[in-house]
């Protein structure tokens, strides 16, 4: 997924080498600051590597385990950290609908309540939706697309000739949310296929 690989290695913050960072702290203020440190780490790590999604399929990119220290964050604590990211506007749930259906299906197999609280996936907003929307409108203005130009998702995100540099490889769901912002501002119209899926934008 990371198409523009950042040549420089990511510098982990020093707290990542502090063993108790991987255990949920009891004191509420300490826990709040711990949550803040996790949020900073996740957003800066994802920005560095241009990672859009964190979920079980990519093992949360391994971020919640420090192999050197042999420490890892418990799944229910991961869920709390993701909750915090979403609540503080630094992430969005990936497709909330599917979370419900999978947990309902799997609950027959495993009844542990911790499993039910198994973290879902998030889209990491290392740039806010408004910022992404502003970047996209700026690009549309700078490149002088006339009113009524039609741009497909492929053209916007993939095609080397036409793509928006800042948005290269952007997750489609995230792009959908950015597009919605743009549509709300009246600077574009969403073009959809028969199933209502976003296929492109028409400038206006």
Residue 146 — left, alpha, or beta (φ > 0 → left; ψ -120 to 50 → alpha)? beta
Burial of 15 from C-beta contacts in 10 A (0-12 / 13-18 / 19+): middle
CB of 114 to another protein, least distance (A): 16
Interaction of residue 169 with another protein, rule CB under 8 A: no
* 124 φ, ψ (degrees, to nearest 5): -85, 125
| Footprint (CB under 8 A) of another protein, residues 51-70 | 70
Cite the beta strand spans of the chain per DSSP E.
Answer: 53-54, 65-66, 71-72, 91-93, 122-124, 150-152, 188-192, 198-203
CA dihedral (57, 61, 63, 66) positive or negative = positive
| Using rule CB under 8 A, residue 30 touches another protein | yes
Applying CB under 8 A, which part among 11-19, 54-62, 124-132, 161-169 lies near another protein?
11-19
Stretch binding another protein (CB under 8 A), from 25-33, 129-137, 144-152, 177-185: 25-33
CB of 42 to another protein, least distance (A): 17
Q: What's the N-to-C CA distance of the chain in angstroms?
A: 31
Q: What angle is formed at CA 182 by the lines to CA 177 and CA 184, rounded to 5 degrees?
A: 95
Binding footprint of another protein, residue count (CB under 8 A): 20
Within 8 A by CB and 6+ apart from 161, the residues are none
The yes or no reply on residue 18 touching another protein (CB under 8 A) is yes
Whether the Cβ atoms of residue 61 and residue 95 lie closer than 8 Å to each other:
no
Using CB under 8 A as the binding rule, whether residue 117 contacts another protein is answered as: no
Residue closer to another protein by CB (options 14, 111) is 14
Query: Is there binding between residue 71 and another protein (CB under 8 A)?
Result: yes
168 binds another protein (CB under 8 A): no
22 binds another protein (CB under 8 A): yes
By beta-carbon proximity to another protein, the closer residue of 75 and 176 is 75
> Which has the closest alpha carbon to 129: 88, 89, 188?
89
Q: Which is nearer to another protein, 40 or 130 (CB)?
A: 40
By CB under 8 A, is residue 29 in contact with another protein?
yes
| Residues near another protein (CB under 8 A) | 14-15, 18-23, 25-27, 29-30, 32-34, 37, 70-72
């Amino acid at each position: 997924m990371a198409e523009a690989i950042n040549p420089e290695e990511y510098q982990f913050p020093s707290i990542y080498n502090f063993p108790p960072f991987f255990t949920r702290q009891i004191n509420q203020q300490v826990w709040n600051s711990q949550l803040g440190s996790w949020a900073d780490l996740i957003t800066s790590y994802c920005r560095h590597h241009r990672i859009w999604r964190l979920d079980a399929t990519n093992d949360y990119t391994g971020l919640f385990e420090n192999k050197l220290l042999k420490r890892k964050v418990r799944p229910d604590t991961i869920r709390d950290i993701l909750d915090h990211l979403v609540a503080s506007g630094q992430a969005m749930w990936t497709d909330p609908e599917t979370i419900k259906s999978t947990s309902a299906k799997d609950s027959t197999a495993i009844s542990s309540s911790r499993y039910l609280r198994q973290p879902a996936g998030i889209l990491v907003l290392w740039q806010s939706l408004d910022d992404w929307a502003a970047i996209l409108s700026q690009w549309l203005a700078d490149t002088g697309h006339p009113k009524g130009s039609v741009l497909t998702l492929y053209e916007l995100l993939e095609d080397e000739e036409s793509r928006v540099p800042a948005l290269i490889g952007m997750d489609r769901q995230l792009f959908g949310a950015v597009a919605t912002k743009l549509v709300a501002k009246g600077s574009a119209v969403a073009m959809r296929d028969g199933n209502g899926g976003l296929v492109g934008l028409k400038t206006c």
